[in-house]
């Protein structure tokens, strides 16, 4: 599937808006864009249709790094809540 990433820089930091599916080869591009953002970006999931396991891992990793995820559908939020890395607060990994 296709993923469109819209990157915005605002006074309060970077914002990434995801449109489509976060899966497969798109995950690498998502990670690259996140790394280039000025600090942990706000990640807007309002237009994210779904994610695969790699996409979930990438979103959980960004949350772990301090990014705030907002606007996820109930389905995406459920997947994230069940992802092991997404359940552990920062700094508590064993």
Q: Which domains does the chain have, with CATH numbers?
A: 3-87 (3.30.750.24)
pLDDT band at 1 (very low <50, low <70, confident <90, very high): low
- Tell me what pLDDT residue 93 has: 43
Residue 90 Cα to chain centre, angstroms: 16
pLDDT band at 85 (very low <50, low <70, confident <90, very high): low
pTM exceeds cut of 0.75: yes
Reply yes or no on whether the pLDDT at 94 is more than 70.
no
The residue among 92 and 86 whose pLDDT is bigger is: 86
Task: Give the best-scoring range by mean pLDDT among 8-17, 63-72, 78-87.
Answer: 63-72
- Tell me what pLDDT residue 5 has: 95
């Amino acid at each position: 599937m296709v993923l469109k990433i819209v990157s915005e820089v605002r006074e309060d930091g970077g914002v990434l808006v995801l449109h489509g599916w976060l899966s497969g080869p798109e995950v690498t591009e998502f990670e690259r864009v996140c790394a280039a953002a000025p600090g942990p970006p706000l990640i807007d999931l309002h237009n994210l249709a779904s994610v695969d396991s790699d996409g979930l891992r990438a979103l959980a990793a960004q949350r772990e790094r301090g990014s705030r995820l907002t606007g996820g559908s109930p389905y995406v939020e459920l997947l994230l809540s069940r992802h092991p890395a997404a359940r552990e607060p920062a700094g508590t990994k064993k």
